[in-house]
Amino acid sequence: MPALLAAALTLMAAAPARADLTVCNHTSYRMQLALGLEHGASVETRGWFRLDPGQCSKVLDGPLDVGTAYVHARTPLVYGGTPLPQNGDLSFCVREDDFDLPDGRNCPLSQQARFAPAKPSDSDKGPVINLAEQAGYDAAQARLAGIQRLLGIAGYDASPIDGVDGAKTQSALAHFLRDHALPAEAAAQPDIFDRLVAAARDPNGPGFAWCNDTQYTVMAAIGTVQMGAIVTRGWYRIAAGQCLRPEIGDGAQRFYSYAEAVDAQGRTIRRGDGVLAWGGKITLCTRDARFEVSNQKDCAARGLNSAGFAVIDLSTQPSAIIRFKEP
């Protein structure tokens, strides 16, 4: 499992052109993209444009006649915490559903997202914005790496996520296709990502899943063993009534889980003298905000929080589900 910054958003820049604008997703994640288009003193925002790994899509028809273009990208909740840095220069308005806002500056802070400027590169098909990982995938490699990543979340070990079609990837994909009564050629069809995302959301498949049976939103964290050390990662947001499979990577059989319920403002729900949480006796480090922590010693001394994580062991069973329930 790569660190969060290993999937940094890269905007390939060159001289802008005047033609249809295309965005290409060279990452191993399904992306949802919002655009900010500067027209003089105003900024129009549009979204969401969905792009599967390895896919290019035209997002604007006609001349790209704007002062500056900005982008904000997000990933579906099936991936857990976003792999993208949210460090754009400006905040503009977005909506949860599809939107086209003529005034992208005039909205409450709660409806704003961070956008980064993007100067498209010039190609024979017009201006292009490329979303890229540090791995530097081309389109075919990104598509295969995206399949590998979702297979892993769905409980089929296709590691490593490298965009290389090796025997382990072929075995995991064949297993997935058999389990879902799909022909071999289904892997080459455009809807393979829809099928993989659906499988990754299904708590009844192989591997590990969280299911939220409470009335609250639950924020969860996972601890996995990497290079002999426990790495904790969070937060994964799980809405009421929803399930989510965190990435545990490389066929891991022993890992750690903690979760707590929060209200609409993100404050932890309290029950008596404690909080409404689900964990165990293994103390590991967390943060208030999104985090990835590889050193689990002296959490408080390093300005970190700590929580009791439960041990999850898949060595004697093919799957496990933790269901968050209210007492």
Residue 238, helix vs strand vs coil: strand
Residue 235 and residue 220 in contact, taking contact as beta carbons nearer than 8 Å = yes
Q: How far apart are CA 32 and CA 133, in angstroms?
A: 15
Q: Is the dihedral of CA 284, 290, 292, 295 positive or negative?
A: negative
Task: Note the pLDDT of residue 4.
Answer: 36
For residue 57, what pLDDT band results from cuts at 50, 70 and 90? Answer: very high
For residue 244, what pLDDT band results from cuts at 50, 70 and 90? Answer: confident
Q: How far apart are CA 314 and CA 306, in angstroms?
A: 25
Query: Among 104-113, 173-182, 248-257, 318-327, whose mean pLDDT is lowest?
Result: 248-257
Q: What is the pLDDT of residues 2-19, one digit of tens each?
A: 433 334 444 443 334 446
Q: What is the pLDDT of residues 293-315, one digit of tens each?
A: 999 999 999 999 999 999 999 88
Residue 38, helix vs strand vs coil: strand
Average pLDDT over residues 46-68: 85
Closest CA to 266 of 223, 304, 237: 237
Residue 173 and residue 152 in contact, taking contact as beta carbons nearer than 8 Å = no
The backbone torsions φ and ψ at residue 28, rounded to the nearest 5 degrees and listed phi first, read -95, 20
The rounded Cα 234 to chain-centroid distance in angstroms is 11
Q: Six-digit token pair at 179?
A: 């389990």
Average pLDDT, the chain: 87
Average pLDDT over residues 218-245: 91
- The residue extents of the domains of the chain are 4-132, 139-201, 207-324
Task: Note the pLDDT of residue 299.
Answer: 96
Residue 69 and residue 117 in contact, taking contact as beta carbons nearer than 8 Å = yes
Q: Six-digit token pair at 322?
A: 């933790």
Task: Note the pLDDT of residue 64.
Answer: 62
Residue 246 pLDDT > 90, yes or no?
no
Task: Specify the DSSP element, H or E, that contains 128.
Answer: strand 126-132
Q: Six-digit token pair at 148?
A: 């590998």
Q: What is the pTM of this model?
A: 0.74
For residue 82, what pLDDT band results from cuts at 50, 70 and 90? Answer: low
If one compares 248 and 194, the residue with the highest pLDDT of the two is 194
Residue type, 253: Q
